[in-house]
Amino acid sequence: MTEAALKGPTAFVLAGGGTKGSFEVGALQYLVGMERIIPDIITATSAGAVAASVLAQARTLQEFAARVQEVEDDILAMTRTEQIFGEQAWLRALEGTALGGEIRFALTEGTRPMQPAPESIGIDGALMKVPDVAPPKPRSPQRAAKKARRRRRRKIQRMLFGAAFRLPGARRKFRTSGSAVLNLGPLANAIRHGGTTGIHPVDPALVARPGLELRLAVTALRAGVLRYITQDGTIVEDDAVTRVPGEAGGPVDLLDGVIASASVPLVFPPRALADDDYVDGGVLQVVPVRAAVQLGATRIIAVVAIPLRIDRDERSYSDDNAGNVGLRALGAIAMADRQRENLAVALPVDATLTTIDPVIDVVGYFEVQPGLLRINKDYGWLRAADVMAGGDATLLADIAADTHRLTAARLQAWHLEETIWESSRAGDHADAGVVALLRELKRQVQEIVDRRKQLGFPVPDGCEAWWTGYEVHGH
């Protein structure tokens, strides 16, 4: 890094990604707590905008450390979805039906990525052996696909039949509330007033103080352009500097701007600001690096919540449901491509860009399990430590690979522990193969942490719990 970059303004760029933003929390904890870096500029989108509004209340290192802890509290509180997200009227009309439950599931657990295979983290597949059973008769792919379609059709028919008496009412309400499935009313109230949700309130007056530039990316639906909300509620053009002319430039309530930046289209309704209706800035800028450059940052640290590279998935999408196809095409492939495009910004001569990104996809966009969020948070901490470290490139690559293996092992362990709890609740004993694999995973985690320590790489406080006990389950 050049001396000029170290002396110039530092920017944190916080990407969107829903509760995948728990990765960003861990990265921020490392950057502020271990590297003692504080930003002069914060640009952010969507979930990153929620975190940015909390951080932007700080000006000193001690204040930033305290605000980062508040961001962690906020992201963990978001697992209580009923206290954070409101249901649109048409969805409330389906309360208690299988159809309504399926829609809610699709937005929470349904967005959760597939767990890593044991082989991907160096686990012997023999440990996965289950008691011998008669192998199923082979079935042609065509017959299997036909059977799967029949099952889906019967499931849909059952859901529609179960909701038959509610559908007319839901259809009427859809005409006035069908722009989205959920709304961010409860979250807006929480960041404004606090309360029992576990979300900390944000004070716009603290954000507006001199000493920090804030830009929250939003997409104007009527104008069809990218804009930003500043720390004092001014709406500026996509150059992050020029005020939008006339009443369109605000000022607007900063917290309304936060909610607008987080309003994922179709999931949440647009937010009216000034003379336009706004949705998630991630439609155009998932990682608003360009805004940081335009504000004069010379050291830019971008924290990304969604993997930049997408691994091959062997699932047969031609026979899959629309939700999974949409998640793969728009939530993974298109999002990864947009992130890479956003990061490929021409930098001034004296500027540097450091990107802290996940490789393992740990949680869904609206995750409900705090244990998974904690794993993702710890992953962000380790990735930040790896990226910020200096030294031999081969060693650094090896340590980074270990971080991915450790995270995949903890993720696999969490899922195995869930099967153990399920067996326990049913009054059954856990399968010996499952227990053996769980022990092997915990052993691998300990070995990786010990190796990091021996080589002088940092580890988070309390990481011994990763292999001495169970991961966090439930609420």
Helix then strand count (H, E) for the chain reads 19, 11
Q: What is the pLDDT of residue 194?
A: 83
Q: Is 63 exposed, middle or buried (0-12, 13-18, 19+ CB in 10 A)?
A: middle
Q: What is the pLDDT of residue 374?
A: 96
Place of tokens 């406080």: 461
CB 94 within 8 A of CB 275: no
Other beta carbons within 10 Å of 275:
15
| HSE value, Cβ hemisphere, 13 Å, CA-based, for 308 | 15
**Crossing angle for the helix pair 22-33 and 47-55, to the nearest 10 degrees:** 30
Nearest of 469, 473, 268 to residue 368 by alpha carbon: 473
Q: What is the pLDDT of residue 326?
A: 73
Task: Output the six-digit token pair for 181.
Answer: 């499935």
Task: Output the six-digit token pair for 49.
Answer: 């905008």
Using DSSP, state whether 427 is helix, strand or coil.
Answer: coil
Nearest of 80, 86, 87, 15 to residue 51 by alpha carbon: 15
Q: What is the pLDDT of residue 104?
A: 66
Q: How far apart are CA 249 and CA 236, in angstroms?
A: 7
Q: How far apart are CA 267 and CA 95, in angstroms?
A: 18
Nearest of 290, 291, 302 to residue 355 by alpha carbon: 302
CB 19 within 8 A of CB 363: yes
Q: What is the pLDDT of residue 126?
A: 43
User: What is the mean pLDDT, run by run of 10 residues, along the chain of 475 residues?
Assistant: 64 94 97 98 96 97 97 87 73 67 66 63 46 45 57 52 55 67 86 85 97 98 97 97 96 96 91 95 94 97 93 75 73 85 94 96 88 96 97 95 96 91 72 88 97 97 95 82
**Kindly report the CA angle at 454 between 452 and 459, in degrees rounded to 5?**
35
β-strands 182-183, 41-45: how paired? Answer: unpaired
Nearest of 188, 167, 2, 164 to residue 85 by alpha carbon: 188
